[in-house]
Each structure stands twice: as structure tokens, then as C-alpha cells.
Chains A and B, each alone.
Chain A
Amino acid sequence: MPTIVSVDDSTVPGEGSSRLLLLVSSDNKHIVVEEDIMSRSRFISKQVEGFEATSQRHAILLPFSSFVLNKVIEYCSHYRGYYLLEDDPDAAPPGRSPVREWDQEFLDVDRNMLLRIIKAAHYLEIKSLVGSCARAIADMIRGKTTEEMREILGVENDFTPEEEHSPSSKCTG
């Protein structure tokens, strides 16, 4: 059972800068981050709306490690104040995220990390980051053989040899 940590409103500094949020990762690390950095996350925004309604602020517990959380915060800090179409809840969702160079470099990590980031981004409802991760994972397997894909994605082959050679499994392209 996680502990609820209260955050006193008086801890929020003034000077027009944004309020602070306390995020708690699954490895029980406490991370303080400015609210408007995290406003890209629909999940966090909804939590904050809840705070306003109840005038109660508390720590937000997240089901992933601080290592992953820090990476997501780095992403959100980079795009702080930027408009990204995919994250606009009022805009019609584009089919695919556009290629962003910074994201490509940012997501140049191993498969494990990439899968953790996309899971976290999905939980936090950051559509732009989900899109960029999905593109990055797709790029890892593009043009690879089925056997290579199993290796890259960590997938076990559970087909029988007959199933593998069935005609419907052949490529159309």
C-alpha cells in the first residue's frame, strides 16, 4: 500500500513560475517537477484538475521506475511550452507522428528502455511520445527477417513448422 504524501501549497514558489508536483516512482524515488512541464501528460493534467476541485494536492504515484520517469521528464522539459499537434486534446488526431530529429536521438536507446518509455508514455497519456516511440520500435525491425525480428523484439517462436510454411503466411510484397 503506497503512502500518500501531502504537499503543502506554501512550498510552491511564487514569481509566476509554475507550481510543483511530487511524482513517486515504483522504486519509491520522490521527484519534484514543475507542473507546466508535465502538462503535456493528459494523465497528470487530469490529476491536477482533481487537485483544484478538491483543493487537496498529493503526490502522484507512478507504476514505473525513476530511471524511466526521469527520461519522460527530460522529454517533457525539452518540449516545454511547445505545441505538438498530437498532444492537443481538441485537435483531430493525426494518423502518425511526424519525424522529429531530437526525438530520434533521444530514443536512441536499447529495446528494453524503449518498451519501458512507450509504456510510461502510454500510462501518462503523452501521445506525441507514444508516437515517436512507436516509430522508433518500428524502425528497429523494418526490413528484418522474421527470425531477426524475434531476436530484436524478444518474441518466442511458438509456431509449429507446418504453420510456418502455410501459404497464407507468405509475404505479399
Chain B
Amino acid sequence: MAHLQLTSLPVELIIKIFEYLDIRTLLGAQQTCHTLKAIVDDCISLQYAIELAASGMSDGMDPRFATVQRLESLKAYDKAWKELSWTDLSDREFGSTDGLHHVSGSVLATVVDNDARTLSLERVPSLLRGIQHDQWELKFDSAIIDFYMDSAQDLLIIITAANWPFNLEIKLLSLSSGLPHPSSAPGEIKLHGARPDIHTGEICGDYFGLGMQATSVSNQRRALVIWNWKTGMKESQSDLPRAYPTRIEFPSFTFLDDSHIMILAYRADGPFNSVEEIQLQTYRFRTPNGEFSPLRDFILPELQERTQIMILRFCPNHAPRRSSGLQRMGLYYHDPKDRLFVICLMVTGGGCHESFELRFPAQTILSHLQSGDMSPVLWKAWGPSMSHFTRHTGPFRPQRWAVYGMKTVQWKNIMLEDCVKQILVVFDYHPRRVARSAIHSGDQVLSSGDSPSMVSIGDTIDGRLLKEQVKTSVTYLYKEIPIPNTCPGEIVQVELCDDGLILYMRVLGQSWMRETRVISL
């Protein structure tokens, strides 16, 4: 029999085969010969698949639009994210700065201040992704203490104080209707015992975690509970800390993925309570005995002697965690697999204080958990090449900068023509977007000011309170966005969502804030 070549097949069969390939292999296959390259270049569905992967998006499978329209729209969306130009400068009165406020996907939610029984919601429209603007309100019988949401699953978890001050009631609702969520366990989750003073929560797929701390003299209990919100079953519960004298800076935990959590802790000792070691502890939940099973500890850079910790916590990442949700909004949506974690660290010692941030993708930690080795992972083994350690320059209020998917935004002051200007800084750590940017900067003149710049040499941080210089080398995209002159005032808060940046400013001399949209794509 003569040898058959792939190229002897009809084109539609070659495309069919290529549709089964991951993007990396597809791009490799495209490089084998001119015929295959032309087939991939001319095929809209393969181009769309490549574009989705390169921009970190997944197809929303909206049947109303043909592939060619999706591809065009996705390219325009990508370009808009690179340029980040201000498109919607309308002012909206936004009440006081202290209102509870969360973002998920493209949904913004705020507790209305006067009675705290009303939640005001808004879906940010996206012309390019085909998402309609929507605005609605949900009313409750008792005051909202806190709430968490996952717009990809249409889930709203409300914590109310029905029986104040003793119990917390956790209601599982549909974000769009306010009625009990159709997939949730019937009834509500009740937490008995003294009401915690501090709590923090997070939704990850089927799981909802709540960390609580009571700070009264008689009760200093700290606990972390994880429920499966669909069955109502408690998956894991633990009183923390697990090992004296490790101090858990609590509440600060985050889901690493569907079966792991991370908790920040440190060991302090001696007459000055100086910090000996900061640990990022990993645990498996969903264990047979319902307890957290400890995995490896990841050690953070060492501090000088006699340094104390003021803040050590994760910044919340508001991107939904699941793609197979009830609502895949839009033509395409952000792929939730890639996720950035940001730790804020503020330390004090010798009469000064310093703030740092440590940013790393989920893969950095997961790659060290696969081996089964349980020994602690030293900073030099995981940090320098797979994370970004940086000095925090903005005002240090953790709720005032945002992490979303693989991006993070903060603002800083710069001196410009003898006056202080505020600018926004967006960092993007998505490995494929970074890789693509590297390719493009090869063919283009570097001074195209519209595109983000790529930082590949890494950062070196000298800190007075750090034991030694900290060098990290992860590659990222960096873009500064000036605040337009038409927006006088002081930045109070910035949010990242699926379709852009939202800026909250306090206008000088006014008690209310104004909301300004940067790119509403």
C-alpha cells in the first residue's frame, strides 16, 4: 500500500481533525507545511478557537451569531482591552463610600444604605459580547450583614441578622430573581452560637466557605466552615489555628480550586512578637472525616528581626469560578481556569512601615501539590520564578484595588508638571496574553503607546524590613491609564469586571461619589 499523507485528505476532514486539537498542538501542526498552514489560516472556526485561547476566553455558544461574527467581535474586544480607553464618562450618584459593594462577572451589587434591606444590582452592558444592560432591586425582611455572589451560577448568598445578635442566617438565592436558588438545598443554612465579629466568605463552584472570628474576651474562637450549597451538607469545618504558636491572620482564606483552600498564617515569637516566618498554608477540604487535611506550607520572603505584621490577607478575586454555570453570558466569556491570587502584606518595625504585594497564578501552587511531598516549600523554590513580589504604592486600603481573573488594577499618584496626578495601573498575568503580546511586539514598532508594555525582566524589591532583596521574574503586561481631566476628584474605589473598569470618585466638596466607566466594551 502506498503511504498516505494527511494532506491527501479533503480539507473538511483536515479541519475536523484539527478541531480536536488543543491550541498549542494546532499551532504546531500549522507549522508543518504550507498546505496545512493555509488550511488553518483560512478556516474561520479554527481561527476563532485560536483567538479564544490566545485571549483567555471561552465560547458562550450563543446560537444567534455565526462564527465569523464572533471572531470579529472577539478581535474588537481584545483590542478594546489593550487600549482601555474611556468610553462612558457618565456620572452616577452613588451614595456613601461605606456601602457594601461587590462585583461578579458583569454584575455590580450595592447594599442601599438607608435601611440595609435592599440590594441594588446592575448588569454592565457589553456591546461586543452581546450583553444587555439591566438594573434591578431585591428587598429583604432583615438587614443585610454581608453578601456573596457568583453571576455565572446566578447565585446570591445573603447573610442576614434575623435573630440578632445570636445567629447568622445564610440564604441561598437566585441573583436575578431573589427567590430561593433552584439548585440549592431547601431552607437556609443557620449558624448557631455567638455571632462572629468578623467574617469573610467566598463561593467556588458548588462550595461556599465562611471564615469567622469572635473577638470578645470570653470567646476568641476562629473557625472556617465550607458547605456544599447545592446539598446543604457541611464539607469541612475546623477551628483554627491548627498548630500553636502559628498565628492565623484571620479571616483570610481563599479557594485554590474545587478541592483546596489556602490560609495565611505566621509564626511570631520573642519579647517583640517579631515575625519568624510567614506561611501560606494549603489544605484539602472534602475529606472523609470532614476536617481540613493539611498539605504543604509555602514560605514567604523573610522579614527583618523585630518586624511585626499589620496586614496579611488575600485580596478577593471577583471573577466567577466556573464555566459550566447556568448562565454563560454573552458570545464568549472569560475562562475561569486561570486565576491570579494577590496577598497584601503590611509590616512595621523600627519606626517605619512598608507595604508589599505578592501575586501568583493558581498553577504556581498547584504544581507543588501534585508530587505528594508534604515538606514546606521554601520561598526560593516557588516564589522567584513563578510569582511577582512588588512594593505596594497606592493608598493601603485593601478594598480599594481590585483583582479580577488574571488581572489586577490599582492606582497611584505621580508628579506631572508640578502637580499630583492620579493614574490607574493595570497588570495582566495571563500567560497566553503575555505570550501573544511578545509575538506582536516582535513585528510592531515598540512605541505604539496604545498597547500595554510587557515586563519580562522581573522586579527587584529592596525593603528596609525585608531580610534580603527579593527578586521575582514572572512576565506580565503593564499599562498605565491617566484619569481624564473631566473627572476632578479623588479616587475612592476601582473595580474590574468582565467588560471593563469602573471608577468611583469623590467629587471635592460633595458628599456623594460619582461612578465613571472606563471601557464598557
Residue ranges of A at the interface with B (Cβ–Cβ < 8 Å):
95-96, 111-112, 115-116, 118-119, 122, 130-131, 134-135, 137-139, 141-146, 149-150, 153-159, 164, 167-173
Contact of B9 among A118, A167, A170 (CB under 8 A): A118
- Nearest CB on B from A164, distance (A): 7
Flag if A134 contacts B19 (CB, 8 Å): yes
Given contacts A118-B13, A119-B13, contact A155 B32 (CB under 8 A): yes
Interface bits B1-18 vs A (CB < 8 Å: 1, else 0): 101111111101100111
Q: Please tell me the number of chain B residues within 8 Å of chain A, measured between CB atoms.
A: 42
- Nearest CB on A from B270, distance (A): 48
- Nearest CB on B from A72, distance (A): 15
Task: Give the interface segment out of B22-30, B104-112, B224-232.
Answer: B22-30
Chain A residues, CB < 8 A from B4: 111-112, 115-116, 154
Q: Does B21 interact with chain A (Cβ within 8 Å)?
A: yes
Instruction: Supply 16 further A-B pairs (C-beta < 8 A) apart from A122-B13, A142-B25.
Output: A96-B19, A115-B8, A115-B9, A118-B9, A134-B16, A134-B19, A137-B17, A144-B25, A146-B29, A149-B29, A169-B30, A172-B27, A172-B50, A172-B54, A172-B436, A173-B435
- Nearest CB on A from B58, distance (A): 13
Contact of B33 among A118, A134, A158, A168 (CB under 8 A): A158
Given contacts A122-B10, A154-B6, contact A172 B31 (CB under 8 A): no
- Nearest CB on B from A2, distance (A): 21
Q: Does B131 interact with chain A (Cβ within 8 Å)?
A: no
Name 25 interchain pairs, CB-CB below 8 A, sorted by A.
A96-B19, A111-B4, A115-B6, A115-B8, A134-B16, A138-B17, A138-B18, A141-B21, A142-B22, A143-B24, A144-B25, A146-B31, A149-B32, A153-B6, A154-B3, A154-B4, A154-B5, A155-B36, A157-B32, A157-B33, A168-B439, A169-B27, A169-B30, A172-B432, A173-B24
Residue ranges of B at the interface with A (Cβ–Cβ < 8 Å):
1, 3-10, 12-13, 16-25, 27-36, 50, 53-54, 431-432, 435-436, 438-439, 442-443
* Complex Cα spacing A167 to B30, Å: 14
Chain A residues, CB < 8 A from B436: 172
* Complex Cα spacing A130 to B435, Å: 34
Flag if B21 contacts A138 (CB, 8 Å): yes
- Nearest CB on B from A48, distance (A): 24
Flag if B20 contacts A134 (CB, 8 Å): yes
- Of all chain B residues, the one with the shortest Cβ separation from A92 is B63
